[in-house]
Structure 1
Amino acid sequence: MRSAGPLRGVGRAGSIGVAILAVAVYANSLGNGFAFDDAGIIVDNPTVTNGDPLAALTAPYWDGEAGVGRLFRPVTQAAFALQWRLFGGEPFGVHLVNVLLHALVAVMVMALCAWLLRAVASDSGTPDSRWTAGAALFGGALFAVHPVHVEAVANGVGQSELWAAAGTLAALLVHLGTRAGGSGWRVAGTLAVAGCYAVAFGAKESAVVLPALLLLVEAAESRSTADLAGRLKAEAPRFALLAAVGASLLVARIDVLGALSGEDVTAVLLGMGPGERIVHALPVWVEYLRLAVWPLDLSADYDPGVIYPASGPAGWQVAAGALLVVATVATALGGWRRHRGAAVAAWWFLITIALASNLLIATGSIMAERTLYLPSVALSLGAALGVAALGRAALGRGPSFGRRTAWAGIAVLALLSLRTLDRNPTWFSSFTVMETLAREHPESWRARMARAQGLARAGDDAAAIEAYRSGVEALPTRFDLVSETGAFLKERRRLDDARPYLEAVVQLQPERPSGWVLLAELELLQGRFQQAHAVAARGIGAARASAELWAVLSESYAGGGLLDAAIRARRTALALDPTDASRRRLDQLLAAAAGVAGSAEASEEAGR
């Protein structure tokens, strides 16, 4: 028999309490500004700053460089555009929405915990109802205050994680609450689930797994394979509509980005085969466990140097990660009959972390705390199951056991809340993010690049160059780091020193025009006009259309005295990006060509 609804047993007071707790621990993030990726995705994104949500539905989320590293998250970008209009571009509006969304998600996590406790009650025995309610409440409260969520909530662009989680959980709860009843109720529920899926998937790609989670909740309540088959048959129209929604968003993604995958592979995994990629991804599971149970050390960067040595992971880290993967899979598969609740929590984590883990495919990040937002629901589910198990153990032990357990739970929540409150101001600005990273993880390549930038601003070029070089040594495949190092050396006229970095840049990602521009400019500075022409021409063939590449090609022609070719190339650059500087340069070339023509005519006349 199916449950009467996902919210039964949660209680209005508990829901309000969890929501207030979530708001309270993140209240000091409301004063944060725009930090880190907020610049490119929100502040410097004309799609957002124009304040037109409809335009945001058909534009890349992260425009990047000529199609490189782009994403398609129409719901999140439309939400940012609307918030920009409503709050006049003030970061407070974005952070307010983040905090309110997190409070909503925490309440829904509590509801999901309550559902799971009911779903597995016949397998494990039902403790006192107060323990069951308390277990669900603890699960929701744990999610509300856990420090691993700070990056998603306290940083503006973390909103994509919040919308994706809110849509996913709402879809699950609506599904659980609308399966019973008349046909009209079921049809309305199906449409609502599909709408929630569109919001979740449109907010972030990771929400594509919602159908698998729907299958999981159906399996959790099934008592046999035949029962599950009957459930799936009854819900076939719902799954079919979800498939149609997912397919439509994938088609829209291809239409906007020009490809299914628009995101770069993280520099850590660049060029690696499946085996080597898995070896580098397994140690991340050790960090998953550490962040779940001991989130004292948080970081904005988990690339090599932080998560493991720059030279690669140690053998024990790979082995420990592999052991954790095996243990999670074993719990998901082997615990289904005797410990179904634990198996559901394990399956939740496996399903929601699959795409971000880099075990199946290479993604744009080896690890980021924000990607644990939806997967960490598994921790709340497990915690609720643990509290319920304590309730069963408490039978006959008297009220003092319950009081001690309650105080222990409050102490855990208090300690986690203090860490969250302490961490929130880290995301006040890009400066505070990098300052904290440099202080806590100076081995990070991001910290080294930030130090180099600071030294450069201070005029200490020698120290800046050394910091840049040490960063490249830590992660030699990171395009922006190598590119910035070469560009800095070029600007300081250390041309021979700049060359190996700029030559490496065009090898790392030949589809990015900026690397070719930098290398061609280097050739121009050294008076090697033919070589500059060759580099620019190769770049035009390898990368997408770029005004900068055509402009540098024009300068290579001009340097060689081929003014007509220089004019044609400059006109192409002007057509791609009609800037005032490009127009002025075209006028100069036209004047120079006219002067040459006039001199030639005068010489010819004099010869006559």
Structure 2
Amino acid sequence: MADRQPALRASHVALLSALVAGTVAAPAVLNGYVEDAHWIIEQRPPLAHPSSFGALLLEPYWPRTFGGGVWRPAVLASYALDGQISASARWLHAVDVLWTALAAGLLALLAARLAGPTVGLAAGLLFATHPVHVEVTASGVGRAELMAAAGYAASLLCALRARTDRRWLIGVALGGAFAIASKEHAATLPATVLLIAAGRAIFAGQDPRPEQRAALAAAACAAVPIVCYFLARPLVTGATFAAGGIAPGLKGMGALGRASAMLALSPEWWRLLFVPIHLSADYSPAQVTVATGLSRVHALALALAVGAALVAWRLRRAAPGVAIGLAWTAITLAPVSNVLVPTEILLAERTLYLPSWGAVLALASAGAALPWRPRVKTAVLALLVLAGAARSVARASIWQDDDRWFAALQRDAPRSYRTLWMEGQDAFVAQRWGTGERYLRLAIAAAPDLPGPRDDLAAFYAAAGQWHPAVALLHESLALDSSRSRPWTMLPRALLGAGDTIAAARAAAAAVRRFPGDGDVGYGAIGPLVVAGDCVAARAVALDVRATLTRAAGERVDRELHSCKGR
């Protein structure tokens, strides 16, 4: 992999890497809307018929009914533009292929500018075919990673040019603005501006400190749009940094507790970045274990980190890209590490898209330093690229439809609470009540701090007339999170079914106070209020929510209110 081909240019590296990445991602054009893509894109009226560009900018990434805890206006704008052209999932995925090629090409260009065309080509091809990227390129909801990576790389390329021409600082700021408007991971951009500046000096055999001082202006330009983003974010999401929830198993932990838990999970990062043979759409309890007490896994994680640091130090002169790549990976993993700010997930392959560039740069740099003949190095690189491409193409098909995705989830993560939860839902729909109850109980045991499985099991108990276990589950659910309307909708009628009329009326009154105007909550409260004899409150609730009720629900409310005549 030594640089012996002066005819190879950085632009050639970028173009070839982009073509390979686009070719590997192209089979995803056959995929449909799957899982999260339904709620974020397909069933999203503000995207299909945006009232104005300003309204779109104030729309959270997740629908408000899902909590609306994330703000990615650039991505939503791109989805809205797609919707104006075609509602077809194939068009969505075709555009994602273009974003895949652009992001891979820009990152390959960055590698070539930093480490030279040959190492850049190796890193670019390894990145273009990395199997961990498939969740990003094939799922339909990975565009945030692609757009953020493209803006991130463009900003860094401008930062390199700004060393000799300050006009490029405008590009640094614009690239940073685009990246942070696409995904929060771009908050690390100022740090990587300084890292890349130091890396360029180290590759040239120079002292990195003057380069870093010279790059401070670029880092500041990158920081400006990021600071503005986080200042504006509360206007949309209500929070500056929070991601809308806490991952299962991390609830109630402080930063040190989360750091301990994530340290034990960090070997999964190493495996996915460097040996991505087994892939999964889910890494949740109990498929992975959240361990805070010291264990053998903690020792393994520390050994991996120390070993990587030692290798980087030993190769600091022969292969400086190893240290730079590993530092990049550590920096870009920080936003998804759950240490500084908790997120809703423990691990996800899509969050490794940007960190994986550091991993492949380290791998390519280490390969270039090996005392092997050029033909052997080329053969090994070709083998890795072909294996990665084959694995990626084969993996992409699981996002063709929901059935294939669920089958893959059952195969890849059978112990995950998410898998068990969905299996329980399917079993109840198929009238296999005993199996459904067992699966949902297992899901509750796997993720005891999540209320959702309890809500579903309570709903199924209520449908079967098993009111007392339904009430118990709803109380547990509300103890975990009382801000959601669904358990408040079910609790009054469940209490009424259990024979506790007074408690049912109290729960109904509390529910409508918490969620005034909510049709589902009001519908669930009217019956218990009528039975308790509080017809005035029942009529007031009916008047408040009638416009939101379906015809069948409205007719039932009328029947319930009929008994209030004369009272």
In structure 2, C-alpha distance between the alignment counterparts of 1:8 and 1:474, rounded to whole Å: 57
Query: CA 1:220/1:379 → structure 2, altered by over 3 Å: closer, same or farther?
Result: same
1:468 to 415, 421, 440: 440
| Map of 1:217 onto structure 2 | 196
Residue deviations 1:164-215 (CA, integer Å, cap 9, x gap) = 111111111122124323xxxx33x222222221211111111111111112
Q: Does structure 1 residue 20 correspond to structure 2 residue 11?
A: no
1:284 to 265, 273, 276: 265
Equivalent position amino acid for 2:394 in 1: D
Equivalent position amino acid for 1:410 in 2: A
Q: Does structure 1 residue 204 correspond to structure 2 residue 209?
A: no
Equivalent position amino acid for 1:61 in 2: Y
Secondary structure at the counterpart of residue 596 of structure 1 = coil
Q: Does structure 1 residue 318 correspond to structure 2 residue 298?
A: yes
In structure 2, C-alpha distance between the alignment counterparts of 1:8 and 1:344, rounded to whole Å: 26
User: Is the Cα contact below 8 Å between 1:105 and 1:166 reproduced in 2?
Assistant: yes
Residue deviations 1:249-300 (CA, integer Å, cap 9, x gap) = 2232111122222511112212223343223211221111111222121111
Equivalent position amino acid for 1:348 in 2: W
| Map of 2:475 onto structure 1 | 503
In structure 1, C-alpha distance between the alignment counterparts of 2:482 and 2:306, rounded to whole Å: 38
Query: CA 1:548/1:332 → structure 2, altered by over 3 Å: closer, same or farther?
Result: farther
| Map of 2:227 onto structure 1 | 247
Instruction: Show structure 2 runs of 5+ residues with no match.
Output: 1-5
| Map of 1:458 onto structure 2 | 430
| Map of 1:444 onto structure 2 | 416
Instruction: Please give the residue correspondences for 1:204-603 in structure 2 after superposition, counting only pairs within 5 Å.
Output: 204-222=183-201, 223-224=206-207, 227-228=210-211, 230-232=213-215, 235-236=216-217, 238-260=218-240, 261-308=242-289, 315-327=295-307, 340-390=320-370, 393=371, 401-539=373-511, 546-574=518-546, 577=548, 593=564, 595-596=565-566
Displacement after TM superposition at 1:314 (Å): 8.4
Query: CA 1:350/1:557 → structure 2, altered by over 3 Å: closer, same or farther?
Result: same
Q: Does structure 1 residue 136 correspond to structure 2 residue 116?
A: no
User: Is the Cα contact below 8 Å between 1:342 and 1:382 reproduced in 2?
Assistant: yes
| Map of 1:115 onto structure 2 | 113
Secondary structure at the counterpart of residue 269 of structure 1 = coil
Displacement after TM superposition at 1:581 (Å): 5.8
Displacement after TM superposition at 1:414 (Å): 1.0
Query: CA 1:314/1:84 → structure 2, altered by over 3 Å: closer, same or farther?
Result: farther
| Map of 1:169 onto structure 2 | 153
Query: CA 1:245/1:483 → structure 2, altered by over 3 Å: closer, same or farther?
Result: same
How many residue pairs align between the two structures? Answer: 556
Displacement after TM superposition at 1:311 (Å): 8.2
Equivalent position amino acid for 1:291 in 2: L
| Map of 1:70 onto structure 2 | 69
Query: CA 1:356/1:539 → structure 2, altered by over 3 Å: closer, same or farther?
Result: farther
| Map of 1:397 onto structure 2 | none
| Map of 1:130 onto structure 2 | none
Secondary structure at the counterpart of residue 566 of structure 2 = helix
TM-score for both structures, normalised by structure 2: 0.90
Query: CA 1:245/1:311 → structure 2, altered by over 3 Å: closer, same or farther?
Result: closer
Residue deviations 1:370-389 (CA, integer Å, cap 9, x gap) = 00000101112112212321
Residue deviations 1:375-422 (CA, integer Å, cap 9, x gap) = 1011121122123213xx35xxxxxx2212211211111111111111
In structure 1, C-alpha distance between the alignment counterparts of 2:473 and 2:310, rounded to whole Å: 46
RMSD: 2.8
Query: CA 1:330/1:206 → structure 2, altered by over 3 Å: closer, same or farther?
Result: farther
Displacement after TM superposition at 1:435 (Å): 0.8
Displacement after TM superposition at 1:545 (Å): 7.1
Query: CA 1:465/1:587 → structure 2, altered by over 3 Å: closer, same or farther?
Result: closer
In structure 1, C-alpha distance between the alignment counterparts of 2:315 and 2:543, rounded to whole Å: 68
**Greater Cα shift, 204-213 or 542-551:** 542-551
| Map of 1:603 onto structure 2 | none
Query: CA 1:226/1:192 → structure 2, altered by over 3 Å: closer, same or farther?
Result: closer
| Map of 1:92 onto structure 2 | 90
| Map of 1:59 onto structure 2 | 59
| Map of 1:160 onto structure 2 | 144
| Map of 1:149 onto structure 2 | 133
Equivalent position amino acid for 1:43 in 2: E
Displacement after TM superposition at 1:512 (Å): 1.4
User: Is the Cα contact below 8 Å between 2:104 and 2:124 reproduced in 1?
Assistant: yes
In structure 2, C-alpha distance between the alignment counterparts of 1:539 and 1:27, rounded to whole Å: 49
**Greater Cα shift, 414-423 or 259-268:** 259-268
From the CA coordinates, give the structure whose radius of gyration is larger: 1
In structure 2, C-alpha distance between the alignment counterparts of 1:329 and 1:254, rounded to whole Å: 38
Equivalent position amino acid for 1:44 in 2: Q
Equivalent position amino acid for 1:217 in 2: I
In structure 2, C-alpha distance between the alignment counterparts of 1:160 and 1:457, rounded to whole Å: 34
Displacement after TM superposition at 1:313 (Å): 8.4
In structure 2, C-alpha distance between the alignment counterparts of 1:270 and 1:467, rounded to whole Å: 23
| Map of 2:3 onto structure 1 | none
In structure 2, C-alpha distance between the alignment counterparts of 1:12 and 1:225, rounded to whole Å: 25
**Greater Cα shift, 381-390 or 201-210:** 381-390
User: Is the Cα contact below 8 Å between 1:113 and 1:380 reproduced in 2?
Assistant: no
**Greater Cα shift, 76-85 or 366-375:** 76-85
User: Is the Cα contact below 8 Å between 2:11 and 2:109 reproduced in 1?
Assistant: no
In structure 2, C-alpha distance between the alignment counterparts of 1:541 and 1:592, rounded to whole Å: 24
In structure 2, C-alpha distance between the alignment counterparts of 1:312 and 1:209, rounded to whole Å: 27
Secondary structure at the counterpart of residue 62 of structure 1 = coil
Q: Does structure 1 residue 192 correspond to structure 2 residue 171?
A: yes
Query: CA 1:175/1:8 → structure 2, altered by over 3 Å: closer, same or farther?
Result: farther
User: Is the Cα contact below 8 Å between 2:495 and 2:501 reproduced in 1?
Assistant: yes
Residue deviations 1:24-73 (CA, integer Å, cap 9, x gap) = 222221100011111111112222222567232111111243x7352111
User: Is the Cα contact below 8 Å between 1:510 and 1:543 reproduced in 2?
Assistant: no
In structure 1, C-alpha distance between the alignment counterparts of 2:485 and 2:194, rounded to whole Å: 45
In structure 2, C-alpha distance between the alignment counterparts of 1:147 and 1:73, rounded to whole Å: 25
Query: CA 1:558/1:111 → structure 2, altered by over 3 Å: closer, same or farther?
Result: same
TM-score for both structures, normalised by structure 1: 0.84
Displacement after TM superposition at 1:452 (Å): 1.8
| Map of 2:102 onto structure 1 | 104
In structure 1, C-alpha distance between the alignment counterparts of 2:223 and 2:262, rounded to whole Å: 30
Query: CA 1:582/1:328 → structure 2, altered by over 3 Å: closer, same or farther?
Result: farther
User: Is the Cα contact below 8 Å between 1:453 and 1:464 reproduced in 2?
Assistant: yes
Displacement after TM superposition at 1:426 (Å): 0.9
Instruction: Please give the residue correspondences for 1:5-44 in structure 2 after superposition, counting only pairs within 5 Å.
Output: 10-44=9-43
Query: CA 1:539/1:353 → structure 2, altered by over 3 Å: closer, same or farther?
Result: farther
Query: CA 1:328/1:531 → structure 2, altered by over 3 Å: closer, same or farther?
Result: farther
User: Is the Cα contact below 8 Å between 1:32 and 1:95 reproduced in 2?
Assistant: yes
| Map of 1:125 onto structure 2 | none
| Map of 1:123 onto structure 2 | none
Query: CA 1:323/1:512 → structure 2, altered by over 3 Å: closer, same or farther?
Result: farther
In structure 1, C-alpha distance between the alignment counterparts of 2:7 and 2:551, rounded to whole Å: 65
User: Is the Cα contact below 8 Å between 1:69 and 1:262 reproduced in 2?
Assistant: no
In structure 1, C-alpha distance between the alignment counterparts of 2:199 and 2:13, rounded to whole Å: 24
In structure 2, C-alpha distance between the alignment counterparts of 1:53 and 1:314, rounded to whole Å: 53
Q: Identity, % of aligned pairs?
A: 29
